[in-house]
Amino acid sequence: MFHNNPEIKAFFNPAHQHSGAQQRALAATICAYARHIENFDQLQQLIGLISQKHVSFGIKPEHYPID
């Protein structure tokens, strides 16, 4: 992902990438989403936190379709 899109590297903490914290956080989020798929209140809370974080980093809709 970073090789093809070096401009997004600034959105990621290199220490978290190196330690695996970012990967674990993504996996935990996917698991939490699946666990609460039938509970909209829980999902809304989870999505709200992720959205706030992404907005604070300046992530825009055009950043999502990258690979």
CB contact set of 9 (below 8 Å; sequence gap of 6+): 2
Mean pLDDT, residues 1-8: 86
What does pTM read for this prediction?
Answer: 0.70
Per domain, the residue ranges of the chain are 6-63
CB contact set of 14 (below 8 Å; sequence gap of 6+): none
Structure tokens at 18: 């190196």
Query: Cα(16)–Cα(50) distance, rounded to whole angstroms?
Result: 16
Percent over 90 (pLDDT), the chain: 42
Over the stretch 37-57, which tens digit does the pLDDT of each residue have?
999 888 898 899 999 999 999
pLDDT for 5 = 86
pLDDT for 28 = 93
Roughly what angle, to the nearest 10 degrees, separates helices 21-35 and 40-57?
Answer: 150
